[in-house]
């Protein structure tokens, strides 16, 4: 292996995408069982590797040299083989600092709670110290000598100003997890989550709903990857490299989600957009029909609207947990449930296809929009909701090609 990343599990990793954008070198993802690590490290058959869970501490005995960040944190995530000698670095420290700076958070004098006590937690603690935080709390599932429990955090430290999550709670494939409710902290000024898949964890989404600056771990991942590549190649990249690579990885991995009225063209526009961009296309209504084995009018007639909505929510959760970088068309009523909007937003940018009411056509296959009066009623009920849920409102008038082109231009230009 020339360059790569080792871990026990790497199914969720974006590292290969990042390094493909940085240099013309081979970068592989290698999953190693714990009993395979020793032989791999002793062989030293690589030029440079990134190391992630659970081996950041396990690789330390194999190092010939370690920089100050490794000695300070007690973990290494970047190893470079120079003429048979292994040099260790902790580029996560740089990545965490870069993420906090990107979000505009100043930790000086602030009360900071770090969720988790693993390797990334130690990195976050070192960063918080470096940035002169006023008080730093480590938080564990159980009360420890050097860490408080979540219960203690909520009841005795409600004045926390910065939350940093270093646990895997909320990470793919368990997207619904949340380590702590940010509403428990009325003085909260910022939330950082090291989880990057999904792009926006439930913790991040909950904070954003309160208007609190919050960000997932993708910027940190890219920043540490850039610094690791600099160590690999003994080079220095231009200052804008992190932002450039971040935007491209976000473009590749973020779903384009279409919401809007029945008959607004979500399916046809979505299919066109997916074809142009070379992405997979999914229609949630089609997936519901396939799952139920009957048409949507049949589901409504035989099982009722509530059963349909339950199935719709389940399909959306499963789809969003499994897919990234896709185009997804939703049913007209998908946004009526907040849980659906949250799921769509975790890995997606939401576009409201705002087609004029006069251009919406009633059809018999849409139980709640089967005639003109029903279409007008749904439009009056839902228009404000579509606007509220969307990241972008798109003019839905004109041809399929024109609408798809508007979405494509906005999606590319804003990343």
Cβ neighbors of 59 (< 8 A, separation 6 or more) are 37, 41, 51, 76, 79, 88
Q: Could you tell me where the DSSP H helices lie in 234-351?
A: 241-253, 266-277, 284-292, 296-303, 305-322, 338-346
The vertex-319 CA angle with 314 and 323, nearest 5°, equals 160
How many whole angstroms separate alpha carbon 63 and alpha carbon 42?
10
And the tokens for 59? 């690789």
How many whole angstroms separate alpha carbon 91 and alpha carbon 119?
13
Residue 56 falls in the annotated catalytic set: yes
| Active-site residue identified among 16, 42, 43, 56 | 56
How many whole angstroms separate alpha carbon 340 and alpha carbon 16?
30
How many whole angstroms separate alpha carbon 28 and alpha carbon 2?
8
Are 107 and 131 within 8 A, CB to CB?
yes
How many whole angstroms separate alpha carbon 282 and alpha carbon 286?
8
Cβ neighbors of 236 (< 8 A, separation 6 or more) are 230
How many whole angstroms separate alpha carbon 126 and alpha carbon 385?
43
Identify which of 107, 61, 128, 115 has the alpha carbon closest to the alpha carbon of residue 88: 61
Dihedrals phi, psi of 61, to nearest 5 degrees: -65, -15
SS (H, E, C) 44-111: CCCCEEEECCCCCCCCHHHCCEECHHHHHHCCCCEEEEECCEEEEECHHHHHHHHHHHHHCCCCECCE
Identify which of 7, 345, 54, 8 has the alpha carbon closest to the alpha carbon of residue 198: 345
Radius of gyration for the chain, computed over Cα atoms and rounded to the nearest angstrom: 24
Active-site annotation, residues: 56
């Amino acid at each position: 292996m020339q360059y790569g990343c080792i871990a026990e599990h790497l199914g969720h990793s974006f590292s290969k995408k990042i390094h493909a954008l940085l240099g013309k070198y081979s970068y592989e993802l290698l999953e190693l069982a714990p009993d395979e690590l020793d032989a791999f490290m002793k062989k030293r058959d690589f030029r440079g590797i990134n190391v992630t869970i659970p081996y950041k501490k396990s690789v330390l005995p194999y190092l010939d040299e370690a920089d100050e960040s490794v000695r300070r944190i007690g973990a290494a995530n970047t190893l470079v083989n120079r003429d048979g000698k292994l040099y260790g670095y902790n580029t996560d420290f740089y990545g965490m600092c870069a993420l906090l700076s990107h979000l505009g958070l100043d930790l000086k004098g602030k009360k900071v709670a770090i969720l988790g006590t693993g390797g990334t937690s130690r990195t976050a603690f070192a960063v918080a110290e470096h940035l002169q935080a006023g008080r730093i709390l480590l938080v564990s599932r159980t009360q420890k000598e050097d860490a408080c429990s979540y219960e203690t955090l909520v009841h005795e430290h409600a004045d926390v100003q910065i939350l940093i999550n270093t646990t895997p709670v909320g990470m793919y494939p368990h997207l619904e997890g949340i380590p702590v409710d940010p509403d428990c902290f009325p003085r909260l000024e910022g939330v950082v989550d090291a989880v990057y898949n999904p792009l926006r964890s439930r913790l991040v989404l909950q904070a954003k709903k309160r208007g609190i600056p919050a960000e997932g771990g993708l910027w940190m991942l890219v920043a540490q990857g850039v610094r690791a590549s600099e160590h690999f190649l003994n080079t220095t990249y231009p200052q804008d490299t992190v932002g450039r690579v971040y935007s491209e990885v976000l473009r590749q991995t973020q779903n384009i989600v279409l919401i809007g009225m029945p008959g607004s063209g979500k399916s046809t526009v979505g299919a066109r957009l997916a074809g142009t961009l070379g992405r997979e296309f999914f229609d949630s209504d089609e997936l519901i029909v396939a799952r139920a084995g009957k048409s949507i009018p049949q589901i409504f007639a035989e099982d009722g609207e509530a059963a349909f909505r339950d199935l719709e929510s389940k399909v959306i959760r499963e789809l969003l947990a499994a897919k990234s970088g896709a185009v997804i068309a939703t049913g007209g009523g998908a946004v009526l449930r907040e849980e659906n909007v949250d799921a769509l937003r975790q890995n997606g940018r939401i576009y409201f296809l705002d087609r004029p009411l006069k251009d919406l056509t009633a059809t018999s296959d849409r139980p709640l929009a089967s005639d003109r009066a029903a279409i007008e009623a749904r439009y009056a009920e839902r228009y404000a909701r579509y606007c509220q849920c969307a990241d972008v409102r798109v003019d839905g008038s004109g041809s399929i090609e024109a609408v798809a082109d508007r979405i494509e231009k906005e999606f590319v230009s804003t990343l």
